[in-house]
Each structure stands twice: as structure tokens, then as C-alpha cells.
Structure 1
Amino acid sequence: MEQHERHTSHGWAPAVQATLHCLTGCAIGEVLGMVIGTALGWDNLPTTVLAIVLAFFFGYSLTLRGVLKAGLGFRAALRVALAADTLSIAVMELIDNGVIALWPDAMDAELADVLFWASLAISLVIAFVVTVPVNKWMIGRGKGHAVVHQYHH
């Protein structure tokens, strides 16, 4: 049993699950930030900053919610969320925003443009693919979502 637990905790499935969790928070924040900034007619830089801030906020919030449910106090839960998600969200945001910044005309696309939604969706998929190995590496070292996992039992 111990060998099976060790194998599954360091395999790809926990990394994919952790990255999907991260992707959910990042996507909520990214979409909300881009929609708000674009709807308000903001320039690209403040819109992107808002999207990144919201991605971190929602990413951390999803982890906090689960860890608080497990009975941890807020300060301890916040430390767990920061330890579990910071690198994962940072990599995801770097890749996601990098793809959009390099994609011709994506930064100037409006909410009604297919390019806006297509570039955002594809950039998140690329960020997911890049972030899975990062999470696998962290989990394999007892870091990242391996820290959160102990509070789900």
C-alpha cells in the first residue's frame, strides 16, 4: 500500500489534477480581468495587470476554500495556499500572458471578436501543458499541491 501511495502521489495524475485546479482559478481571473478591462476601455497594460491579480486571487481562493473546510485556521490556510499555488500560478500566468502578448492582434481584440476568446482559450491550454510538469516536479518533492493534499483526507 505504501509503495502504491508513493507512486500515485508522484505520478502524473496528481500533477494534472493540481494544474486543473490552478487553471480554474487562473481562467476565472484572466477572463474576468480581460472582460472588465476591455469593457471599461482600459489599455492593455492595466487590463493585463488586473487579469493577473485576479488570477492569483481566484487561484489562492479556491485552495483557501478547501483548506479552510478541512478545519485549518485562516493564517495557516493562507500559508498553505501561498506555498501550494504561487509557483504554479506564476508559471501559468507567464505562459498565458506571454502567448497572448506574442499572438498578432490578440492584445487589441475586443470582447465580441473570435480572436479574443480563441487566443485566451489556446493560451490557457498551452499554459496548462507547460505547468503540469512544474506541478509534477513540486509534488514529487513534497511541495505545491502535495502540501494541500494532506488536508483533503
Structure 2
Amino acid sequence: MFEQRPTGSPSAHHHEGHAGTAPTSPTELTRLAVSATLHCLTGCAIGEVLGMVLSTWWGWGNAANIALSVVLAFVFGYSLTIAPVLRSGLPFRQAVKVALAADTLSIVTMEVMDNLVIIAVPSALDAGLSDLLFWASLAASLVVAFAVTVPVNRALIARGKGHALVHEYHH
């Protein structure tokens, strides 16, 4: 099981932004939001890239391409949260609950923005794996998704929600 610290001990509050508490400074809040969004971006990018590469390689249509990419983005996004929470000793069912609470809004925001950009770029969905347009539009979509998701995560963390829920299990 994960280590329980007494509430009054000095180490109990060693890191601002623990579950249920907001960071005390705007700079710390923004730093945590950027960190949480980079974490989310990593999982989403792995899923998006893998999904788009596989579905393009297999010759799937645009709807299947987007669906596979979104599903894999959620799978990898949640997995990157669940793994360290499990290592802290939390049982699987609880780790899943923490990941769902911590990451769902962030991943949804990122996926909506990512896919809107891909759809908005002319011919991006028709580009092949060897086309610069495929990779450039994918990279641009992830940059836009990151920029839009940072304020979402910042607002969640300020309320002790979102990725703030995971910090209790990181040591």
C-alpha cells in the first residue's frame, strides 16, 4: 500500500498542488498545468500518431482513422497515469478511478482540438504517411491542442481537481 503521512507532519505538505489543494502562487499553478498538459500530450500524441499511422497504412477511411486515433489516445493517456499510481500501491480499480478523474477532461479537450485542426487543414486527412502534410498537420494539431488544454488543466488544478488528484501518489 502507499505510504500514509500524518496530516500534521512536515513531509505531509512537501509539494504544493496535492489532491484537494490548489498551489499557492499563480506561477506554481501554471507550472503544474503545463506539466499536466505535457503528460496528457504525451499519451494523446502516442495514441494519435499510432492510430493515424496504422489506419492510414491499412487504408481505412477518415471516420475510422479518427476513431482509432481517439481510442488509442485515451488508452495511452490513461495508461500513463494508471502505471505510476499502481506503483504507489493503489489497487487497480482505484487507480483507474484516479486516472479517469485526473485525465478525462484534459484528454477530451486535447482530442477535440487535435481533430478539429486535422479536419480543418485542407487535404490533411487524405495525406499519406510519406507526405509532409500528414506530419505537419499532425504536429500543428498537437501544438494547438496543447495550447488550448493548458488553461483547462490550470482551472482544474486551481480547484484541486484534474491532474492535482494524481500528485498524492507520486513519490
- TM-score of Structure 1 vs Structure 2, range by shorter chain: over 0.9
User: In the alignment, what sits opposite 1:7?
Assistant: 24
Instruction: Tell me how far apart the structure 1 counterparts of residues 32 and 84 of structure 2 sit (CA, whole Å).
Output: 16
Match status 1:125 vs 2:146: no
Structure having the higher Rg? 2
Deviation at 1:11, TM superposition (A): 1.4
User: In the alignment, what sits opposite 2:97?
Assistant: 79
Q: How does 1:4-153 map to 2 (within 5 A)?
A: 5=16, 6-7=23-24, 11-153=29-171
Deviation at 1:40, TM superposition (A): 0.3
Instruction: Tell me how far apart the structure 1 counterparts of residues 148 and 80 of structure 2 sit (CA, whole Å).
Output: 21
Q: When the two structures are aligned, how many residues end up with a matched partner? A: 152
- Indicate the percent of aligned positions where both proteins have the same amino acid: 63
Structure 2: tracts of 5 or more residues without a match:
1-9, 17-22
Structure 1: tracts of 5 or more residues without a match:
none
**What TM-score do you get using the length of structure 1 for normalisation?**
0.95
Preserved CA contact (<8 Å) 1:139 1:146: yes
Residue by residue over 1:10-49, the C-alpha shift from the partner in whole angstroms, topping out at 9 and shown as x without a partner, is: 6100000000000000000000000000000000100110
Instruction: Tell me how far apart the structure 2 counterparts of residues 36 and 18 of structure 1 sit (CA, whole Å).
Output: 27
Q: What is the CA RMSD across the aligned residues, in angstroms?
A: 1.6
Instruction: Tell me how far apart the structure 2 counterparts of residues 8 and 76 of structure 1 sit (CA, whole Å).
Output: 30
- Bigger RCO (CA 8 Å, 6+ sep): 2
Preserved CA contact (<8 Å) 1:26 1:89: yes
Instruction: Tell me how far apart the structure 2 counterparts of residues 78 and 129 of structure 1 sit (CA, whole Å).
Output: 26
Which residue identity is paired with 1:12? T
